[in-house]
Structure 1
Amino acid sequence: MDTTTAQYEALALYIGGRFLSARGRPEQEVINPATGEAFAQLPHATREDLDNAVNAASDAFQSWRHTPAIERSALLRRVASLIRERAPQIARNITLDQGKPLAEAILEVQSCAEHAEWHAEECRRIYGRVIPARTPGVQQTVSREPIGVCAAFTPWNFPFNLALRKVVAALGSGCTTVLKGPEDSPSAVVALARIFHDAGLPAGCLNVVWGVPSEVSTHLINAPAVRKISFTGSATVGKQLASMAGAQMKRMTMELGGHSPVLVFDDADVEQAARFLARTKTRNAGQVCMAPSRFFVHEKAYERFVDAFTAEYAPLRVGDGLDPQTQMGPLAHERRIDAMQALVTDARERGASLVCGGSRLDETGYFFPPTILTGVPDDARLMVEEPFGPVVPITTFSSTEDALSRANALPYGLASYVFTNSIATAEYVAGRIEAGMVGINHFGLALPETPLGGVKESGMGSEGGIETFDGYLVTKFVSQASRVP
């Protein structure tokens, strides 16, 4: 094996506290997006494996639900410690199978320790309440109880972070989980399972399975023991899963795609905002659900913004994420190259001007350069479809109402960004923009203590913040009289 992959994670299923290798199971190649070459094999779960995972989670729930919160908290703190200890190797493997620069991968993993610690604290604060009764001798209480077995589905762009967030929320609340991570970048999820295993999580509380996504999701959602679905991914797939879950009245948390508008007003620090946004867009080659992706700039500030943004964005060094000189890595899949090219072609055919980039960089890897298009009309595919890549459309607006109308025109509503030095403008726009999250003059989203979620077709429910356990708990009211009237 090549020395660059010699220490890659031993890929496996994790069911009932045991790591299961292929042993006759179907397998899938894992591709390094920087080279386009396969370097590992991922075992897929059989139907029997999926049933065993659900049964293990169901059996474990009977005891885990009654485990004192102080013990669940202590386990999550041990998980946080192991995350920090193992971050370098986990991050290196993320770069191998997902592509992002090593520094970004390390930041992704290390930040998850804080998420584990936040849930360790919050799970000790799942409170009930007493309701004063109308009759003497009656006691009325409300309690929050774990819903049961959860099926979680997580994507490839932040394979460790997005899986960790779901697992700590489920386990912290007293639920158990069957997790299907991303087959394209699986190492992080297997590493996560090893961390929980080594931290002392009881067998069956967390199970990890792999397979053909549509087959696995259908099987898990239809399993009677599964009572909660949590999904992060595209709106198209999210709707399909929501339909299946809704038909069985199963609780859902859906963090779906977005197409985040950026409103830059002429009273903002225009050049500084442009440089900041260029750096933000660089992250994970734009493969971020909350990435700024539709740029509306006031006509008086437009030229200054474009010049400053281009100066920061265009020269970025694109390459293998393991190269310390790389500033932006490859796209995660070869199909994303074709998607980027199609968006650029459509925009140019509709009159947009290409400022930089626009064509594939290297045939041996999935590299696409920082790309800027100006004068992009609102009906261009790039302005309507989430690009999920390093392609940036920039256009102008003339008034606040014009900007809001166009920002709210799409069915998405995940993240949004506003740049202005006017408190009045900031408050006015924040109150009228249709999004679950609004960042004003900075990127302050997705922290452990803040809720992450969208509106409209960008999903339902929130992860993080004090809202983090809401989707995993049911409310029970008990009214008890001391004697029969």
Structure 2
Amino acid sequence: MKTNNSVIDLIDLSEIKMYINGKWQGAQNGEIFSVINPSTGEVVANIPRGGQIETKHAIESAEQAFKTWSKLTANERASYLLKVHDLMYEYKDQLAEIMSLEMGKPFTEAQGEVGFAASYLQWFAEEGRRVYGETIPPSAANKRLMVIKQPIGVVAAITPWNFPLAMMTRKVAPAMASGCTSIVKPAGQSPISALAFGKLLEMAGVPNGVVNIITGSSGPISDEIFANPTVKKISFTGSTEVGKMLVKKSAAQLKRLSLELGGHAPFIVFEDADIEAAASGALASKFRNTGQTCVCANRIYVQRSIIEKFSALFVEKAKALKVGNSIDPSVQVGPLVSYDGLAKVEEHVNDAVSKGARILCGGKRLEGDLSDGLFYEPTILGEVNSDMLITTDETFGPVAPIIAFDTEEEVIELANKTEYGLAAYFYTQNISRSVRVSEALQFGIIGMNDAVPTVAQAPFGGFKESGMGKEGGHQGISEYLEEKYISMGIEAK
């Protein structure tokens, strides 16, 4: 349950400002934009609409801070990360409440995200101590060869609205641990979470300019980030369409990019699976964050011999989910984040039904007491086929299509038939099949009898058009480091 402490104990919603060079400031032009609570349609807060001027100031501040931050020892940098980690737990409920208010994540689930976000701070605090170089056997007696690793410099993080804290710490924590300084551009739907994190940085005594948080329109902020030669690396989480545009923008200066883009995850249930576990896993994967995750189950393939049994159990579990105002700790499914998101869900369901799909549960927007919010019933579709839009386009909502298959070979081909390659899931109790399917699926993350595989200590990233680079694990800090080879001549005796 929520504590009696208020969000105001952390950040004043009546006077939100950007965090640049350790100071809180509005946009120079005085412009603002509103963040709307998708559960109620009410304004949560007005946010400064920063642009090119504020971005340039933030980059200059990060450049200045890099001169000293990069020279701290790994232990010194880790101490700051761990202070912020502890503060995240101290203000766990306030952070969760902010998330629920601004983007509709159910409060209890938002509490879980706070812990998940904090885990990246702890992991990379430790991983920063393990940035090892190497020595290389020389080919001549008068040489010594070595490789050292150094922070790349000023980096920019462009974060999404659906995991406003976890996606921020997954980028900022390795940057800080490696000795880099950052500019963060949070999504317009959920900037308050990022600014609240900035407040924790301030409370932890993180030096000015190490992390700068800018809010506003993506265009002018992104343009300055990509045009400014001081920024050496950009990490972006968002759509594949935007990711491709950023690749083109980065080419002018050959900036290093990490891209975590769209997904269209298959969820495969074989006839030898534990059906109870598979149905519970599908529920957790599909309806977490109201289906608004890039790794959630988008295509549920069930072997024909068990499809009726699985569907009945899955529908029973989906009908039991509580939908409502995200701030209610008992709610399990909240609203969609925007009208566009809701319209896309309706489009996918209508298209599927028009082509022969059967609604097993849900299938409509919620009205009555929830009519002011962007709510859609948890929906399961049966008799789905590959001609339907929902089998090729990422829905990003609480709709689960069930598709029958007959053989292992058939479902592998169906699962891989997509330009995306972020995450895939399958349930089986056959060890040989587990190995075959894990190796055959063309996705960067595989959940084998596991619907929630993401952890701080493992790499996160996709194949094909789902992005490039990895976040998390020891691989995540490598994205912020340059390897420098040193050949040293000595006097040989």
TM-score (norm: length of structure 1): 0.96
Q: Deviation per CA, 1:289-332: give whole Å up to 9, x if none.
A: 11111101101111111001000012322110122332211111
Deviation for aligned residue 1:242: 1.6
Q: Which position in structure 1 is the counterpart of 2:403?
A: 395
Kindly indicate whether the alpha-carbon contact (under 8 Å) linking 1:297 and 1:396 is maintained by their aligned counterparts in 2: yes
Match of 1:421 in 2: 429
Q: Which residues in structure 2 correspond to 1:2-401 (within 5 Å)?
A: 9=13, 10-22=15-27, 24-362=29-367, 363-401=371-409
User: Could you list the runs of 5+ residues in structure 2 that have no partner in the other structure?
Assistant: none
Whole-Å Cα distance in 2 between the matches of residues 110 and 121 of structure 1? 17
Letter in 1 for 2:247: A
Query: Following the alignment from structure 1 to structure 2, what is the Cα–Cα distance between the partners of residues 145 and 52?
Result: 25
How far apart, in 2, do the equivalents of 1:260 and 1:455 lie? 12
Aligned equivalent of 1:474: 482
Q: Take 1:429 and 1:161, find their aligned partners in 2: how far apart are those partners?
A: 30
Report how far residue 243 of structure 1 moved: 1.5
Aligned partner (choices 418, 427, 449) of residue 457 of structure 2: 449
Output the amino acid matched with 1:63: T
Is structure 2 residue 443 aligned with structure 1 residue 438? Answer: no
What's the CA shift for 1:287?
0.6
- Distance in 2, matches of 1:247 and 1:310, equals 51
- Structure 2: distance between partners of 1:349 and 1:257: 26
Match of 1:207, SS?
A: strand
Alpha-carbon distance between aligned partners in 1 of 2:325 and 2:361, rounded to the nearest angstrom: 21
Aligned-residue offset at 1:391: 0.6
Could you report, residue by residue, the CA deviation over 1:158-179 in whole angstroms, capped at 9, with x for unpaired residues?
Answer: 1011111100011111111100
Comparing 242-251 with 231-240, greater Cα deviation is found at: 242-251
Contact conserved, 2:421 with 2:466, CA < 8 A, in 1? Answer: yes
1:448–1:464 CA contact under 8 A, matched in 2: yes
Shift of 1:23: 6.5
Instruction: Return the offset for 1:137.
Output: 2.6
Q: One-letter code of the match for 1:57?
A: A
Q: Does the aligned pair in 2 maintain the 1:178–1:207 contact within 8 Å? A: yes
8 Å CA contact 2:44–2:101 kept in 1: the answer is no
Residue pair 2:52, 2:220 contacting (<8 A) in 1 also: no
Question: Does the CA contact (< 8 Å) of 1:156 and 1:182 recur in 2?
Answer: yes
How many Å separate the matches in 2 of 1:334 and 1:418? 32
Aligned ranges for residues 402-417 of structure 1 at < 5 Å? 402-417=410-425
1-side partners of 2:28 and 2:412: how far apart? Answer: 56
Q: Which amino acid aligns with 1:55?
A: E
Paired AA for residue 353 in structure 1: R
Count of matched residue pairs: 483
Residue type at the aligned position of 1:405: E
Q: Distance in 2 between matches of 1:149 and 1:342?
A: 42
Whether contact under 8 Å (1:273, 1:441) holds in the other structure is: yes
- Aligned residue type for 1:103: T
* Alpha-carbon distance in structure 2 between the residues aligned to 1:396 and 1:404: 13
- How many angstroms apart in 1 are the aligned matches of 2:319 and 2:252? 48
Q: Deviations over 1:208-241 (max 9, x none)?
A: 1111112211221111111101001111111111
CA distance in 2: counterparts of 1:283 and 1:451, whole angstroms: 21
1 CA distance for matches of 2:355 and 2:218?
Answer: 36
**CA separation in 2, counterparts of 1:39 and 1:24?**
22
CA contact (8 A) 1:259 1:414 kept: yes
Residues 33 and 398 of structure 1: is their aligned pair in 2 closer, same or farther, counting only changes over 3 Å? same
Alignment check: 8 A CA contact 1:167 1:177 kept:
yes
Contact 1:25 1:46 in 2 (8 A): no
- Structure 1 CA distance, aligned partners of 2:387 and 2:92? 43
1:4 deviates by: 9.1
Q: CA deviation at 1:22?
A: 4.8
Pairs within 5 Å for 1:455-470: 455-470=463-478
**Contact 1:279/1:313 (8 A) holds in 2:** no
Distance in 2 (alpha carbons) for counterparts of 1:387 and 1:265? 24
Helix, strand or coil at the partner of 1:468: helix
Residue identity opposite 2:480 in structure 1:
Y
Unaligned runs of 5+ in 1: none
Answer yes or no: is the 8 Å Cα contact 2:421–2:465 preserved in 1.
yes
Identity, in percent, stands at 38
CA distance in 1, matches of 2:135, 2:195: 43
